[in-house]
Amino acid sequence: MIWITIEHILRVLIAGLAGAIIGYERSSRQKEAGIRTHFIVAVGSSLMMIISKYGFTDMGNWSNVSLDPSRVASQIVSGVGFLGAGTIFMNKQKVKGLTTAAGIWATAGVGMGIGAGMYTLGIGVTLLIVVVQFAMHRHRKPLVATRVPHRLTVRIVNHKQAIPSILDALDQHQIHVFSLHSEIEKSLPDAKESVPSYLLLQASIQLNTTIKPKDLVPLLQSLPDVQMVKIDE
């Protein structure tokens, strides 16, 4: 019995490793779902496949019970579809995230295969997915994970002048901006009286090796109309 349990745990671990490999490629391109997401999807799918296949063996001799070993496993395919749909979004009239969503769905299949004991098939499909995602990508880059992006928040006034100044400062220091978002903040949270409207500028940035977060904060705070600078990972 203990050896059977060890084998099941081994299947889950192998599935998680396969999912992490697929997620590594997505993470290296700064996609929405990375190593952790693909790892959990693969592990969960493998676990549910094992439960579906072996979890009800103690009821096999019950004369009034009819078992379908594929019933639990069949729900994984549709269930993971909802998870993948969360990575799809529209950006400038273009659909983004389809490949990542399909990768999550395929990762669930890999986890199911390994959970069922089909090691060669699951590992082979993992390598196939990674090779195709890398080889067919529009911008081919080395398969090396990039540094974790930082979240930059800046509170500014007179945004017509401040935003170009901030973007110029980032560009001069070769700091890549992945995304940019702004919203009006009518009053500061700790303000006792009415104050002018502020603009919260939020950006996802990639720092280079020559500048650190502690160096970027005073740099941006020295710009005109900048009231607050905060950097989080």
| Secondary structure class of 65 (helix, strand, coil) | coil
Domain count within the chain: 2
Q: Which structural domain range is residue 224 located in?
A: 150-232
Give a yes or no: residue 156 inside a domain: yes
Stated pTM of the model: 0.55
Q: Are residues 95 and 18 in the same domain?
A: yes
The answer to which of 74-78, 111-115, 144-148 has the lowest mean pLDDT is 144-148
Tell me: pLDDT of 76 over 70: yes
Q: Are residues 10 and 93 in the same domain?
A: yes
Residue whose entry in the numeric block shows the structure tokens 């990575």? 87
Separation CA 215–CA 111 (nearest Å)? 44
- pLDDT tens digits, 26-41: 877 767 678 888 899 9
Alpha helices (H) along 86-173: 98-115, 119-135, 159-172
- To the nearest 10°, report the CA torsion of 189, 195, 196, 201: -20
Q: Are residues 125 and 30 in the same domain?
A: yes
pLDDT at 125 (0 to 100): 92
Give a yes or no: residue 62 inside a domain: no
| pLDDT band with cut points at 50, 70 and 90 for residue 124 | very high
Q: State the CATH number of the domain containing residue 212.
A: 3.30.70.260
Helix axes 98-115, 119-135, angle to 10 degrees: 160
- pLDDT tens digits, 176-187: 787 777 777 665
- Say if strands 198-206 and 150-156 run parallel, antiparallel, or are unpaired: antiparallel
Q: Are residues 110 and 186 in the same domain?
A: no
Residues 6+ apart with CB under 8 A from 80: 41, 45, 104, 105, 108
| CA angle centred on 89, ends 83 and 94, rounded to 5° | 140
Q: Are residues 183 and 154 in the same domain?
A: yes
Give a yes or no: residue 143 inside a domain: no
Separation CA 50–CA 33 (nearest Å)? 25
Q: Are residues 73 and 130 in the same domain?
A: yes
Separation CA 143–CA 102 (nearest Å)? 19
| pLDDT band with cut points at 50, 70 and 90 for residue 171 | confident
Residue whose entry in the numeric block shows the structure tokens 């990768």? 103
Give a yes or no: residue 33 inside a domain: yes
Separation CA 188–CA 191 (nearest Å)? 5
Q: Are residues 46 and 120 in the same domain?
A: yes
Helix axes 213-221, 159-172, angle to 10 degrees: 140
Q: Are residues 48 and 118 in the same domain?
A: yes
Q: Are residues 200 and 89 in the same domain?
A: no
- And the tokens for 45? 């799918």
Separation in Å, CA 203 to CA 5, 82, 170: 47, 28, 11
Q: Are residues 131 and 160 in the same domain?
A: no
Q: Are residues 44 and 87 in the same domain?
A: yes
| pLDDT band with cut points at 50, 70 and 90 for residue 43 | very high
Give a yes or no: residue 145 inside a domain: no
Length of the chain: 233
- And the tokens for 2? 């203990």
Q: Are residues 11 and 105 in the same domain?
A: yes
Give a yes or no: residue 142 inside a domain: no
